[in-house]
Amino acid sequence: MLAALGIVALLAAQPSVAVRSPYLEAVRRYGPGTEAEAIAALRAIRLRDADQVFEELDGRVCAAVGARGCMPQQLVDAGRESQKKVAVTWRRLYPRALALHVEALAACDPVREGAAMRLHLTVLLRLVVRIEQIAREQPDVPHAFAQIATQGRHLTLWALQYLRQVDGLAAALEVFELPKIRDVDVRLARGALEELLSLPDAVARSSRVRERSTTMARNSVLAQEEQRQVEIAARVYESLIAEDPASLEAHLRLARLELRLGHATRAEEHLVRVANLKPDARQGYLAALFLADVYERQRLVTAAISAYGVAQQNWPGAQTPGIGIARLRALSGASQDARNALAVMHLERPADAPERSDPWMGYLGAQYWRLPAGMAALQATFEAEP
């Protein structure tokens, strides 16, 4: 989703001030249904650094109304009407630019487009800070515009979780984790970062492993470091739950970490808690799937099969529960029941059946599943061009 935007700064009954550039034209083009062409237009510009973006979003817009610059005093010197025109333009531009760069970031190939990812992330971090600044400094800024900074934080973090970008997440959290911001989604992102760092490949690349494995067996060091990192991630969710006991996502993710640490009983407590908090279909599915894992570890085969059945009910398009049931039936000697369970998965599906999908397949992406709905919510705030 990208845009080439020619921006028009206008107050309802006043003459317009047209501000055109390839970048601003791309921003203006961005919207529901035009995301792909907007991203293509943005890529065609071949931005070199974030300063180019703000020369367009701020410098060019302010110059078009006769202001010497965009600093508060410079806008005051330009006059009240110029201030109004700039404020109206920014309210139209900034949400679109934010959405465009989130889309462009998420569309990057993590292997081949590292420089582009870093550029879009830098722009997004500055956009969020800039929107907060405008909301503070500009008179009569609607509350909805100020809230776009919060949306921007979340969308940026979700896009980075989709890409599984450890360095990007760390950089974003350094900007977003402020004492004055007690944001559950930001704290979930911190947990997601620590989880990514706890994966075996990340642990194997860590400097601590290189340093310690000179004196200890490498496999032993890897096991210890992985456990240490899992415990760090678990503490993030424990802290969040202490302040927000109803955080279903925190309970789910902590339960999975407890399983990795071998604490099946602790995991079960969190998963039962999720069930009692009226989860949505995705949360109910994951809770049941993880409970099945708990019961398997406790050798409670009947309970595990039942939990897999609950998972199937919550997310009929997923195949993981059916495979789990078939495996347990086969291990119990009920070969025909196992074949029947697998056969059901391959029956012709009704036309109105949900598409096959499985929230477990995207679990490592943490909260990225919220990205499409979050983008739609941001697009709904866009003010129409005059």
Tell whether 242 is covered by a domain.
no
Tell whether 16 is covered by a domain.
yes
Tell whether 286 is covered by a domain.
no
Q: Is the pLDDT of residue 20 over 70?
A: no
pLDDT 10s digits, 272-306 = 999 899 899 999 999 999 999 999 999 999 999 99
As a whole number of angstroms, the distance between CA 280 and CA 248 comes to: 10
DSSP 216-228: S-HHHHHHHHHHH
Q: Residues 202, 208, 212, 216: what is their CA dihedral angle, to the nearest 10 degrees?
A: -20
pLDDT 10s digits, 87-129 = 888 889 999 999 999 999 999 999 999 999 999 999 999 999 9
Task: Please give the pLDDT value at position 354.
Answer: 56
How many domains does the structure of the chain reveal? 1
3-class DSSP state of 138:
coil
- Written as one letter, the residue type at 301 is V
- Written as one letter, the residue type at 379 is Q
Q: Is the pLDDT of residue 266 over 90?
A: yes
Task: Please give the pLDDT value at position 2.
Answer: 30
* Residue with more model confidence, 337 or 310: 310
Average pLDDT over residues 336-360: 72
Residue/partner pairs of 291-298 with CB below 8 Å, 24 or more apart: 292/321, 292/324, 293/259, 294/259, 294/264, 294/267, 294/268, 296/328, 297/259, 297/264, 298/264
As a whole number of angstroms, the distance between CA 63 and CA 56 comes to: 10
As a whole number of angstroms, the distance between CA 273 and CA 351 comes to: 35
Q: Is the pLDDT of residue 17 over 70?
A: no
Task: Please give the pLDDT value at position 213.
Answer: 56
CA 302 to chain centre: 37
* pLDDT band per the 50, 70, 90 thresholds, residue 5: very low
As a whole number of angstroms, the distance between CA 294 and CA 267 comes to: 7
Tell whether 139 is covered by a domain.
yes
Tell whether 312 is covered by a domain.
no
Tell whether 163 is covered by a domain.
yes
* Residue with more model confidence, 333 or 4: 333
* pLDDT band per the 50, 70, 90 thresholds, residue 69: confident
As a whole number of angstroms, the distance between CA 353 and CA 266 comes to: 36
pLDDT 10s digits, 123-177 = 999 999 999 988 887 767 788 888 999 999 999 999 999 999 999 999 999 999 8
Residue 103 CA: distances (Å) to CA of 44, 100, 153, 249: 15, 5, 14, 24
pLDDT above 70: percentage of residues in the chain: 87
**Domain hosting residue 29, numbered range:** 1-176+367-386
Mean pLDDT of the chain: 86
Tell whether 146 is covered by a domain.
yes
Q: Residues 178, 184, 189, 194: what is their CA dihedral angle, to the nearest 10 degrees?
A: 90
281: tokens are 């279909």
Q: Is the pLDDT of residue 191 over 70?
A: yes
Tell whether 313 is covered by a domain.
no
CA-angle at 383, arms to 381 and 386, nearest 5°: 170
